[in-house]
Amino acid sequence: MADSTLPIGSAIDLTPPSEVYGTWLELVNSWVTTVDHKKIGLMYIGYAAIFLLVGGFEAILLRIQLAVPHNNFLSPEVFNRLFTMHGTTMVFLMGMPLVIGFANYLVPLMIGARDMSFPRMNAFSFWMTALGGLMLYYSFIGGVGLQGAGSAPDVTWWAYAPLTERAFSRGHSTDYWALSLIVSGFGTIGAAVNIIATTICMRCKGMTMFRMPLLAWLYLVVSGMILVTISPLTAAQIMLCIDRYLGGHFFDSQAGGAPVVWAHFFWIFGHPEVYVLVLPAFAIANEVIPVFSRKAIFGYPAMVSASAGIGVISLSVWAHHMFTVGMTSAQNAFFVLSTGLVGVPTGIKIFNWIATMWGGKIRFATPMLFCSAFLIQFLFAGLTGIMLSTAPWNWQLHNSYFVIAHFHYVLVGAIVFCFFGGFYYWYPKMIGKMLNERLGKWHFWLFFLGFHLCFDLMHIPGLLGMPRSIYTYEPGRGWDTLNFIVSMGGIIQGIATAIFVYNLVYSYFKGEEAGPDPWDAWTLEWATSSPPPEYNFATEPVVMSRRPLWDLKHPEDPDYRYE
Amino acid sequence: MSSTAIPLGHHKEWVLPYHGTVAMLALIVAETAIFSIFVVAYIYYIGKSISGPQPRDVLELPIFNTVCLLSSSFTIWLAEHSLKKGAMGAFRLWWALTVVLGSIFLGGTGLEWNKLIYHDGLTISTNLFGTTYYSLVGLHASHVIIGLTMLSLVLIFSLAGKLKSEHAKQLGVLSLYWHFVDGVWVVVFTVVYIIGR
């Protein structure tokens, strides 16, 4: 597989990075003070991976509690804290850093740049995000406060007012929640500004906007969305802090404030956030599927415009989370239709991926397995999404396990699957070793099995009336067996993830040497050594088409003749 | 380039936008989103306060302040213009005037708050009007403070003779921010002092 004799011109540097080993402290210092986009990217990814394990562990505790009726494994208070922490962790401490980490590592390499536009702001963004995570988890200790009330936040991850007001949420746990999201939000906005400036201003010669790899394009869209979605959340959190610290009345219904305003502000952030997380997953599929189908991506311009379309439309769908708060018919109709509309560009993407695979010489290596499963699962998640976006159906199933099953289908079935695929695809570039393919297959199939046991069956208790956020339930409602199997599925996913972590460590020490271009891919990051030197490219590359490495490998039939 | 390499020379000059400007524009988009949320909250809560004082009882039109702040957009533009021409004296004059005008605005806001708090008894926790008013105007004022800090730093650099006309690009980024702060004030003024009163 490893091919170290690339037909690459002198423009691209192949010398392996000189490996300097200092003392342990020097090593730590080199990471803490780094402004190299690759090291920062790896720190983001490592940080996200740690919180993936933490959040996953919390999920498994929740599922153990729900496996059988009348269980006493967790107390109701602890259950509330754990599902709040699970949700907050997975969205803000796992999802966002993972998304930004891959962007940090890949975007400069793919557009032929030596670093991000603002390397020091990049480091600052990471450490802000890291501080946010530490603050949230410090609440387990610090949230007790002087009154001795509360521990970790227990207000759910959407934290509806007025539950978060001083009167109902004593102690400091909610403050830690709000402050940690403000702090990590600043980090995220900084990262988004940086990614936008990098993609627009740092492209190498010949890399016009419409020759950029789709991953870079999608990250440009995502960063634009972050600017207009994370900021409203930051604003709402500032209002919450004003209420809690300064005695303000934004969400205080006793003084004329309206809790529903919080719901609007939260979902103005909350729904586009789903697309902020899922578009990077699409971005990974955009890179993996063509390379493993041995075909150029089908419909590049359509893919770009569909992504931009999703970005724009997704800003107008937020209140489909709120059909039950009692909106007017016109409002209901608007949000039903706008939500339906967002399915159109998404459908275009799915057809384009299928058309890319169609007639290709598909190699089912682990990255491709994950991305193929993603296609099917994301389609299914989209279908239940259309069901839930229909107001009457939503009135019936709001806050039921059907909703939980639906959004976990998106978050796990699409996002986590694609990012696992991304790990297997780019680990050789980042570390220089291949991830073990045998362990990868075990990881994939076990995770696939666990995922479907868990989240397919979770729809049914929802249809049967099981509400979300309950710590236990009565036997004999037809939920018992289903819940037990769902919990087993959760544990199987946990085992699969453990195999993945073992694979990461095992392959670091014992993995096969990757070489610069193990997958015979076409984008610029594969033109550097693995891992790339600190300066990425010895001289600035020049590109003529969307697949610069194809042009170099096939000078007799380059892409730029057709584009 | 090796024989397989990509033919060069087909490219015209490869010019990309200045990253500082792009980043500032991106930041302005994010800031606009934050301000929009506060403005929407303000508009939504107009007239919803259960107890007094109400806006029409206590708010006066800050015309002088507004004129000062908006004209500082003009003076910073003149300063930039002078810097590009290399007229350092004119630059220092216009830049210092910008700082003075911004400071007058900030001082005016301080006086207004002083009157509201000690004379009218309106604080952030008095009623919904107080909460939304101090948050929105305070958010804007905090941006003025950040802007003034940066403007003053530039003034110090320029008085120390460290500023040259090749820094015009960087100063353009800062003036973009200052124009944004002024633009936001137009919205805040309209919402708080015209619609809200």
> pLDDT band at residue B3, thresholds of 50, 70 and 90?
very low
Interface test with B, best of A227, A268, A522 (most B CBs within 10 A): A227
Chain A CB contacts of B132 under 8 Å are: 250
Number of helical H runs and strand E runs in chain A: 17, 0
Would you call A70 helix, strand, or coil by DSSP? coil
Nearby residues of A8 by Cβ (< 8 Å), 6 or more positions away: A14, A527, A549, A552, B2
Which letter, b or e, does each residue of A224-257 get, where b requires 16 or more Cβ atoms within 10 Å of its Cβ?
bbbbbbbbbbbbbbbbbbbbbeebbbbbbeebbb
> pLDDT band at residue A167, thresholds of 50, 70 and 90?
confident
Question: Cα separation of B38 and B194, whole Å?
Answer: 17
pLDDT at residue B12 in the model: 66
With CB atoms and an 8 Å threshold, state whether A197 touches B33: no
pLDDT at residue B31 in the model: 97
Residues 105-134 of B with CB under 8 A from A: 124-125, 127-128, 131-132
Chain B CB contacts of A198 under 8 Å are: 19
State the average pLDDT over residues A10-32: 68
Question: Cα separation of A525 and A502, whole Å?
Answer: 26
- Which domains, ranges and CATH numbers included, belong to chain B? 19-50+63-195 (1.20.120.80)
With CB atoms and an 8 Å threshold, state whether A228 touches B17: no
pLDDT at residue A425 in the model: 97
pLDDT at residue A58 in the model: 95
Per the CB < 8 A criterion, the answer to whether A372 and A430 are in contact is no
Going by C-alpha positions, the residue among A536, A533, A554 that lies closest to residue A545 is A554
State the average pLDDT over residues A197-207: 95
pLDDT in tens, A44-53: 999 999 999 9
- B146 touches A at CB < 8 Å: no
pLDDT at residue A458 in the model: 96
Give the per-residue SS3 of A359-370: CCCCCCCHHHHH
pLDDT at residue A309 in the model: 95
Per the CB < 8 A criterion, the answer to whether A388 and A397 are in contact is yes
The pTM (predicted TM-score) of the whole model is 0.93
Considering only CA atoms, give the Rg of chain A. 24
pLDDT over threshold 80, residue A149: no
- Which domains, ranges and CATH numbers included, belong to chain A? 36-561 (1.20.210.10)
Tokens of B25: 């524009």
Would you call A158 helix, strand, or coil by DSSP? coil
pLDDT over threshold 60, residue B7: no
pLDDT in tens, A330-348: 999 999 999 999 999 999 9
Per the CB < 8 A criterion, the answer to whether A178 and A241 are in contact is yes
> pLDDT band at residue A5, thresholds of 50, 70 and 90?
very low
> pLDDT band at residue A170, thresholds of 50, 70 and 90?
confident
Chain A CB contacts of B26 under 8 Å are: 192-193, 196-197, 223-224, 227
Question: Cα separation of B6 and A26, whole Å?
Answer: 41
Which letter, b or e, does each residue of A280-297 get, where b requires 16 or more Cβ atoms within 10 Å of its Cβ?
bbbbbbbbbbbbbbebbb
Considering only CA atoms, give the Rg of chain B. 22
User: Of the candidates B11, B18, B33, which has its C-beta nearest A231's C-beta?
Assistant: B33
User: Of the candidates B4, B18, B20, which has its C-beta nearest A9's C-beta?
Assistant: B4
pLDDT at residue A143 in the model: 65
In angstroms, the separation between the Cα of residue B16 and the nearest Cα of chain A is 5
pLDDT in tens, A361-400: 999 999 999 999 999 999 999 999 999 999 999 999 999 9
Which phi and psi angles does A4 have, rounded to 5°? -100, 0
pLDDT in tens, B70-94: 999 999 999 999 999 989 999 999 9
pLDDT in tens, A91-109: 999 999 999 999 999 999 9
**Could you tell me how far CA A284 lies from the centroid of its own chain?**
11
State the average pLDDT over residues A207-233: 96
Q: Could you tell me which residue, A306 or A173, shows the higher pLDDT?
A: A306
Residues 9-68 of B with CB under 8 A from A: 10-11, 14, 16-20, 22-23, 26-27, 29-31, 33-34, 36-38, 41, 44-45, 48-51
Please tell me whether the interface predicted TM-score (ipTM) of this complex is above 0.90: yes
pLDDT at residue A508 in the model: 95
State the average pLDDT over residues A304-327: 94
Tokens of B169: 């690009």
pLDDT at residue A77 in the model: 87
State the average pLDDT over residues B28-39: 97
Per the CB < 8 A criterion, the answer to whether A278 and A270 are in contact is no
pLDDT at residue A9 in the model: 47
pLDDT over threshold 50, residue B1: no
pLDDT over threshold 50, residue A10: no
pLDDT at residue A24 in the model: 86
